[in-house]
Amino acid sequence: MNANFITAVDVASKLKISKALAYRLIATGEIASIRFGRTVRVREEDLNAFIAHKFSASANHSQRHIEAGVSEH
């Protein structure tokens, strides 16, 4: 396995969110992570999967609004 691991602080930086939100997303399991003792790390591929899932969910939500005739404004 040749995984690249990043910290929760890196996750926050990449997503442009607060560190607290990054830790919450990790703690709830929305972003998969691994613990090494008291240290938490996220595989870059798991962060990318989280982002792809969010884009997919957003696209599905928008499509439902379009089909229902609801404006995005």
Q: Is residue 73 a part of any domain in this protein?
A: no
Burial (Cβ within 10 Å: 0-12, 13-18, ≥19) of residue 5: middle
Q: Is residue 56 a part of any domain in this protein?
A: yes
Q: Is residue 60 a part of any domain in this protein?
A: yes
Q: Is residue 29 a part of any domain in this protein?
A: yes
Burial (Cβ within 10 Å: 0-12, 13-18, ≥19) of residue 67: exposed
* pLDDT tens digits along 7-66: 999 999 999 999 999 999 999 999 999 999 999 999 999 999 999 999 887 666 555 555
Q: What is the total count of domains within the chain?
A: 1
pTM value is: 0.75
Contact 4, 44 (CB under 8 A): yes
Q: Is residue 12 a part of any domain in this protein?
A: yes
Residue 59: the pLDDT is: 66
Quick one: residue 16, left, alpha or beta (phi over 0 = left, psi -120 to 50 = alpha)?
left
> Cα(23)–Cα(41) distance, rounded to whole angstroms?
11
